[in-house]
A and B are shown apart, each in its own frame.
Chain A
Amino acid sequence: MSVNQANASVHDKSEVQLSVRNLCVDYITANGDVRAVNNVSFDIGRGEVFGLAGESGCGKSTVAFSVCRLHKPPAFISGGEIIFNGRDILKFDDEQLRQYRWKESAMVFQSAMNSLNPVLTLEEQFCDVLLAHTNMTRQECIKRAGQLLEVVDIHPSRLSDYPHQFSGGMRQRLVIAIALALNAKLIIMDEPTTALDVVVQREILQKIYQLKEEFGFSILFITHDISLMVEFCDRIGIMYAGELAEVAPAKNILTKPNHPYTEGLGNAFPPLHGEKKRLVGIPGTPLNLFEVPVGCRFQARCPYVKDVCRKEYCTLTEIAPGEFSACHLHKDGVVDIKSLEQQPVQG
């Protein structure tokens, strides 16, 4: 697979903040190695919100962890490049990596509720990251921490409190405030609102968006909530079984899917407007990564499957400007998947 083919970019080189190239992540298991992320490539521009969506276990978080090199055994990055501002972070030594983390790319974790250390005060958790990366004095750190709390609408007097004294939504905002501490150029948000109710979710996403506009960082946004993602992101990558199935501008994902899996995801969510439609799930179960078939990984669940899908692997290809798809349907020009006749799937 050539790098150019997979270069899912809509930006000039100078505007690219993060460029993931042919990333592969393996897990070592008792039954042999499993490739959890296979040949994933995408770019994130400066100030862009890039979404990664897909079923649980499809490798979204694994990709996110790779960008901070947070994998620990049995997972390891087995191939590819992660270029951040022109430097390959996979080649960093320990000290370079330590400096890169949080200063360049910060992360809001899947369960932000549990990502605060329960026995340290917030002040301590703000100060340790500021002291580790800047030459600020402790007094300056505390002042900065207070400002950051104000950014997420929490009173600075609460700096001396412990995490358990905050509500779930507040803890989420606290983690976001810590993520903003060093003006990181990229903030990875791994399902930042999954554990929260929709009202708090909306509050937090509005806050994030407003902060992004203000500080101009890029976001790698991960969720399995497609409708939320379409609202929030500029471009979206759809992952299936450890691979990118499609990358396209957010507005296209629901209206003009370029991959049968994307269409399936879209059909599984109720539309907010328009007539009532019966929701359709995707038949079958996610791929068992121990038994990866020859050809397309989605073949067993695809309603448009053809002979070629069972024989030939399909790489992510730019089928129209800014639109990438890994599907054989587009071999002879772009096809409108929504208009195709579906065939029954044995599941």
Chain B
Amino acid sequence: MGFILRRLVFYFGAFLVAVVINFFLPRMMPGDPVDAMLAQGARFTAEQIANLRLTFGVDQPLYQQFFTYLGDVFTLELGNSTFFSNMPVAEVLGNAFWWTLFLTGTATVLAFIFGATLGIVAAWYRGGKFDSFASPLSLVLQATPQLVFGIVVLFSLGVTWDLIPISYAYDPELTPTFSWEFIKNVLHHSIGPIFCIFIVQLGGFLVPMRNNMINLLNEDYITMGKAKGLSNTRVMLNYGARNAILPSVTALSMALGFVVGGALVVEVIFNYQGLGSVLYNAIINRDYQLIQGQLLIMTVFMLAFNFLADVLYVFLDPRLRKGGK
């Protein structure tokens, strides 16, 4: 498969570029981690400060730091976090990763399934009751910041009516096990944040799907599908949606690529221990190693899902296949 190999080489190049940017971006911020510790009121002697700088490696010239970093990236040695009491970055991120993947991943996949389906229906019955209601509404939802949903859901469902927990991924007194009780607890905690991420993304899938589909419905093969006496459902799905979904697949993989970026705002509002919260804390505390580690995960994920989209696209659209099957 020459195609897949070529894409892989391309994505590896993109990965290297991203690593370079990842390294230099946090270092363009004024101050360094030791400054941040001092700013938070830590008191050190000049000697201690020098020792800390030595430990963090910030006393070395930039290029030297960079090559050390590059070597570390490929050995997955991401350093230690300054903020999370010197835990290895890989461990901090590893803990948060699964929570974010669960939270944002579920919300994104749900948003895609519902958004695309509703978009198909809205386009098929264009100008009907559902379309005139759902399409403008989803635009409004899409334009509303997650912050607004987060706070509204938190205060209404969480505080006023006390229907959902307002903090954490599960009750702190529970130990994570594969028991039904624990899973129930996790699901209960996730309702609020998942809903907030879901509702904002919904319109992002509905509106483009609807527009694609409307354009496609004027194609001759749709008319021919109808003229063939096929059922409405078959024409709508196999002739319409099957073609209209192609651009949405790209949108989905982009969205999934962003998943590990975490829904920063929502995670912070619901105090959810995902990658979003980690990134937020890391930035506030100038935790270089952690920021770099987080950006690295985001890069890898984004590239991986783009690659997946490329492969999926070829699978879905026979016109992109070269030399037959």
A residues with a Cβ closer than 8 A to B are: 68, 70, 97-103, 106-107, 109-112, 114-121, 124, 128-129, 132-133, 160-162, 164-165, 175, 178
- Tell me which residues across on chain B come within 8 A of A106, comparing CB atoms: 227
A-B contacts, 5 listed (Cβ < 8 Å): A68-B227, A116-B224, A117-B238, A121-B318, A160-B325
Q: Which residue of B lies closest to A128 (CB)?
A: B230
Q: What 7 pairs across the A-B complex have the smallest Cβ distances?
A: A101-B229, A162-B318, A115-B224, A115-B220, A114-B220, A129-B228, A102-B229
- Tell me which residues across on chain A come within 8 A of B239, comparing CB atoms: 117
- Docked-complex contact B243 and A118, CB < 8 angstroms: yes
- Docked-complex contact A70 and B234, CB < 8 angstroms: no
- Per the bound structure, the CA–CA distance linking A196 and B101 in Å amounts to 54
- Docked-complex contact B229 and A117, CB < 8 angstroms: no
* Chain A nearest Cβ from B51, distance in angstroms: 64
Q: Which residue of B lies closest to A100 (CB)?
A: B229
Tell me the interface secondary structure of chain A in the complex: mixed
B residues with a Cβ closer than 8 A to A are: 219-221, 223-231, 234, 238-239, 242-243, 316-319, 324-325
- Tell me which residues across on chain B come within 8 A of A164, comparing CB atoms: 318-319
- Per the bound structure, the CA–CA distance linking A165 and B228 in Å amounts to 22
- Tell me which residues across on chain A come within 8 A of B221, comparing CB atoms: 114-118
- Docked-complex contact B229 and A70, CB < 8 angstroms: no
- Per the bound structure, the CA–CA distance linking A70 and B227 in Å amounts to 7
- Docked-complex contact A132 and B231, CB < 8 angstroms: yes
- Docked-complex contact A119 and B229, CB < 8 angstroms: no
- Tell me which residues across on chain B come within 8 A of A111, comparing CB atoms: 220
* Chain A nearest Cβ from B317, distance in angstroms: 6
- Tell me which residues across on chain B come within 8 A of A161, comparing CB atoms: 324
* Chain B nearest Cβ from A80, distance in angstroms: 20
Using A117-B239, A119-B243, A120-B238 as known contacts, say yes or no to A101 and B319 having CB atoms under 8 A apart: no
- Per the bound structure, the CA–CA distance linking A70 and B316 in Å amounts to 29
Using A115-B220, A119-B317, A132-B234 as known contacts, say yes or no to A101 and B226 having CB atoms under 8 A apart: yes
* Chain B nearest Cβ from A126, distance in angstroms: 10
Q: Which residue of A lies closest to B245 (CB)?
A: A119
Q: Which residue of B lies closest to A132 (CB)?
A: B230
- Tell me which residues across on chain A come within 8 A of B223, comparing CB atoms: 70, 109, 115
- Per the bound structure, the CA–CA distance linking A132 and B238 in Å amounts to 14
Question: Which of B225, B229, B317 is close to A133, meaning CB atoms less than 8 Å apart?
Answer: B229
Question: Which of A102, A107, A112, A117 is close to B243, meaning CB atoms less than 8 Å apart?
Answer: A117
Using A109-B223, A111-B220, A114-B219 as known contacts, say yes or no to A103 and B243 having CB atoms under 8 A apart: no
- Tell me which residues across on chain B come within 8 A of A97, comparing CB atoms: 229
- Tell me which residues across on chain B come within 8 A of A100, comparing CB atoms: 229
- Docked-complex contact B226 and A70, CB < 8 angstroms: yes
Q: Which of B220, B234, B324 has the most CB of A within 10 A?
A: B220
Question: Which of B227, B234, B238, B242 is close to A101, meaning CB atoms less than 8 Å apart?
Answer: B227
Q: Which residue of B lies closest to A124 (CB)?
A: B238
- Tell me which residues across on chain A come within 8 A of B238, comparing CB atoms: 117, 120, 124, 128
